Chains A and B, each alone.
Chain A
Amino acid sequence: MSGQNSFGNRGNRDASVVNTRGMGTIDGTRRSGPVGEGRAGDPFLIGEGMTGGYGKGADILHDCTISVEKGQIAVIVGPNGAGKSTAMKAIFGMLNLRQGSVRLNGRDITALNPQDRVKAGMGFVPQVNNIFPSMTVEENLEMGAFIRNDDIRQTMQQVYDLFPAVAEKRKQAAGELSGGQRQQVAVGRALMTQPQVLMLDEPTAGVSPIVMDELFDRIIAIARGGLPVLMVEQNAQQAMNIADKAYVLVQGANAHTGTGKELMANDEVRRTFLGG
């Protein structure tokens, strides 16, 4: 979508000249703007009134607001193509916001690029391609802690304690692990920055139900430890069960907002998204 393909698909099949594996979609050359003041009474993290889309394309989000408080879990649910992941990416600075702002911990970070948002305390786990496949588990975690200059061993031990299954495989290439273990590595990598807020884009996509339950348990544990968690979920039912706050998006706009329990009780939400 982004990027200028002047030659169409020409030449991109020839492995002796081009390497399309691991290619990025985010413009890493963009520079950050200034950090502004937050507003009084803000939640810990809030993306407020966000309107925008990818590059110069049409708007995908329309006046969308998402927030999360300290120690809470907020989930974003909604039908396919509702802009759930896009809202997440907007908060992380990966698309052009035409209106709205993103504020974290009393600061306005709307003008920051994604790299600097990481430094500002945000941790993000993308839905796919969320590990470094040819690097070992340990190296994946080290890369998570790239911006830190202090001793990371303690944090690494915490991650291993949280995910004992991957601790055993710390010297193995992450790409060789099973789907569930990869997700654990991915979450672990994001935790290594010691973020102030953790954002997960469909962490349970493509993993078996047992693994999914286990992952949810871990996520709850993380949130109860004081780290606010914002996540997009496809499995609306389970997600709402654990959510302190839930957002239902439809066509890039807020349709319903409330605690998980409130929304579960809401007839319309149940009919349209929870299948009765």
Chain B
Amino acid sequence: MASNRQSTASASPWRAPVLFGILAILFVLEGTVRNDLFSGSWNTSLAILNMGLISAITALGVNMQWGYAGLFNVGVVGFLAMGALAPVLVSLPPVEGAWQAGGPRLILSLLAGLGVLALARLVWGRTRKGWAVALVLLAGFFLFRSLFDPAVLAIEGNNPARHGNIGGLGLPVLLSWLVGGVFAAAAAWAIGKVALGLRSDYLAIATLGIGEIIVAVMKNEDWLARGVKNITAIPRPVAYEVDLQQNPDFVAFAQGWGFSATEASGIWVKLSYMSLFLVVLLVLILLAELALKSPWGRMMRAIRDNETAARAMGKNVTRRHLQVFVLGSAVIGIAGAMMVTLDGLVAPTGYNPLRYTFLIWVMVIVGGSGNNWGAVLGSVLIWFLWIKAEVWGPAAIAALTGPLSDGPLKEHLLDSSPHMRFIAMGAVLLAVLRFAPRGLLPEK
């Protein structure tokens, strides 16, 4: 391992600053230069950056699981979706009549569901009889449905055109970010408990499954977040463009910088978001690095590098793995909550695993497994490429097909050129795996 050809390259202390510098230049170019490659709009540039930062936080969560413990989580999309529920349930204003319609009953049914699962576990522990557990689960399922269905019907029947959901608590949206982390952590605990305790892990398939299921729940349980009808108008933690544009002080300030009020308000909002995201990101990195340097982190790395030895020394490997899996998922959940806050909307149909699970993996691998700054670099860079590939792809195809005579083939190629981004991302991942498998910023 030491003879890896990358180990010498990573020795340079300038590697990280230089790469981050190049990244910064890309964003400045995007903000200032207007040509075939760049838009020349600060609004676009910052919009890419903001989403890139959220991806960075997601990648940070994945990197905790993968980098620290070697856990392969392919259900990132599900944990993001779990986090996305938090702003809906925490910070949206309460829906009139929803709680009265079926709130307590709903809570009761969910508690009953959990109770059934606990009972099943208890029965298994006591009797070790599969049929007894099956009986408990079956009876419990019908009990749950008999409580749950009417409650849901009542809630969804409440002003279905505008609401039909349970509504939120009207609390500050920043609080919901934390709650998002808690939601994702809870889901991670449940799934990790099952998939990590076996003779060997089955985490990949388990997370793949839970990811699909969480997204399916989000799409179909209208009482929760209106399903595919989408939730809009999630409250913002920053100013609204309209308010800024009507503020004479701000207009004057913008003109002082040579921007129109419309443009400046957009930039201002994005900068505010950026600051918030940066704070979250830096705090998380700080915590992650501190954790890694603590005895706990040393133990995590020891387990990762030689599990057998760690086990022989009496370390409870499964427990540690579960811990780090839950923590990493919590970070992903926070990112999920931040994402819907930035978008201002929850649209479950957009939760595509290719975009929200596997692209995140590309980010982590490209950045450097086990290196938090690498995860950040990889995320922002890959996100930039992902967005720009949509513009560059057609441009590249147009250039390539230039000599071709106009015809159905050329037309078809031009039409489908936006799909080039998938090929580009795959190619980037394969190239990194081949030529720099430890990533752009290898772990020290």
Contact = CB atoms under 8 A, between A and B. Distances in A.
Chain A in direct contact with chain B (Cβ < 8 angstroms): yes
Interface of A: 4-17, 56
Contact of B72 (A5, A8, A17, A56): A17
Given A7-B369, A56-B3, A12 B70 contact: yes
Interface of B: 1, 3-4, 66-67, 70-72, 200-206, 304-307, 369-370, 433, 437-438
Say whether chain B's binding surface is mostly helix, strand, loop, or mixed. Answer: loop
Given A9-B306, A14-B201, 13 more contacts: A5-B1, A6-B437, A6-B438, A7-B70, A9-B307, A10-B70, A10-B304, A10-B370, A14-B200, A14-B202, A15-B202, A17-B204, A17-B205
A17 B66 CA distance: 14
A96 to B, nearest CB: 14
Contact of A11 (B66, B202, B437): B66
A8 B202 contact: no
A13 B433 CA distance: 20
Contacts of B1: 4-5, 8
Nearest to B439: A6
B276 to A, nearest CB: 32
A15 B198 CA distance: 10
A11 B71 CA distance: 6
B437 A7 contact: yes
Contacts of B307: 9, 13
B4 A4 contact: yes
A8 B304 CA distance: 8
A88 B118 CA distance: 59
Nearest to A4: B4
Contacts of B203: 14, 16
Contacts of A12: 70
9 closest A-B pairs (Cβ-Cβ)? A10-B70, A6-B437, A16-B205, A15-B200, A14-B201, A16-B202, A17-B204, A16-B204, A11-B72
A253 B234 CA distance: 76
Residue with the greatest number of chain B CB neighbours at <10 A, chosen from A9, A11, A13: A13
Contacts of A10: 66-67, 70, 72, 304, 369-370
22 contacts: A4-B1, A5-B1, A6-B4, A6-B437, A8-B1, A8-B70, A8-B305, A9-B304, A9-B305, A10-B66, A10-B70, A10-B369, A11-B70, A12-B70, A13-B201, A13-B307, A14-B200, A14-B202, A16-B202, A17-B204, A17-B205, A56-B3
